[in-house]
Amino acid sequence: MSAEKLPFVLPAVFTIGPRVDDDESMLKFAKLISPHDKNSNHLHELVQGVIEGETRVLAASMTMEAIFKGTKEFKQEIFDKVQLELNQFGLHIYNANVKQLVDVPGHEYFSYLGQKTQMEAANQARVQEANWELYKKQKEAEAVLFQQQKEAEAKKAIADATFYAQQQAADGTLYAKQKEADGITALAQAQGFYLKCLLNEVNGNYAALRDYMMINGGAFEEIAKINAEAVRGLQPKISDRSGANGGGEGSDAGKMNGVAGVCSMLPPLFQTVHEQTVMKVKLD
């Protein structure tokens, strides 16, 4: 019986005999069998009593679950304790075959423990299996996350490169605009200096500066061309006859009078140009 007073059967086969390699053990064995007849069961009963007694004592100190879970250790401890008792008789256990623990009919405790252990093993197996599935899913998720991270890093690198190229292009455009602005500023400053020098040369006479710039720029020529084109379009009839001095239509005097008439038209023309192009320039 176990510590809970639960009975069980422990099938075992022991091969026991005198220790022949030790004189003291042989003497003990001789003393054991000498008082008895060779057909006596005294030795068999003695050994059986030792085995059963030590097994009962050991089992009574252990719970059934401890015996079941530690079957190997339980059997070894029985062997050690029985051998210790047999030493005083000069006997030695040459072989011991302790079989599986068995329930007493009507007490299926070991069967219950076996079923419980099987269920626990099955449950544990399902938990192993579940953990493995979880592990695989975690690894798959980690792989997907790693791939996404690499793709994000690649996209970021491309974006950085694109931004850098755009920034470089923008910097180049800005630099060109700045240089263009600097050129315009320098040109304006040069033109201002040029006008200032011209104004100084004409003693501050704005009208003279204006006329010089118009003449130098060909403005009067362009105005004359435009007016000539306008007059040509009107197809005027100019006569060079002159009856005052008696010059004929084809005489030199007549021609000069015609030219004089045309020239007399120039002062009003210049006056008109002056009115249309009058400007005031103030230079520091």
Please state which of the four CATH numbers 3.40.50.300, 3.30.479.30, 3.40.50.620, 1.10.3720.10 is assigned to the domain occupying 8-107: 3.30.479.30
Cα–Cα distance, 134 to 127 (Å, whole number): 10
Query: Residue 90: helix, strand or coil by DSSP?
Result: coil
Please say if the pLDDT value at position 127 is more than 90.
no
Nearest in space to 90 (alpha carbons), one of 18, 31, 36:
18
Task: pLDDT band for 87, please (50, 70, 90 cuts).
Answer: very high
Which of 3-17, 107-121, 215-229, 267-281 bottoms out in mean pLDDT, i.e. has the lowest?
Answer: 267-281
Cα separation values, 102 from 6, 44, 114, 118, Å: 12, 24, 11, 17
Task: Please list, residue by residue across 245-270, b when 16 or more beta carbons sit within 10 angstroms of its beta carbon and e when fewer do.
Answer: eebeeeeeebeebeeeeeeeeeeeee
Summarize pLDDT for 75-84 with one digit per residue, the tens.
Answer: 888 889 999 9
In degrees, rounded to 5, the angle at the alpha carbon of residue 107 between the alpha carbons of residues 105 and 110 is 105
Cα–Cα distance, 82 to 181 (Å, whole number): 114
**Residue-range domain boundaries for the chain:** 8-107, 124-192, 202-277
Cα–Cα distance, 58 to 71 (Å, whole number): 12
Summarize pLDDT for 93-111 with one digit per residue, the tens.
Answer: 998 887 776 666 766 665 6
Q: Tell me what pLDDT residue 90 has.
A: 92
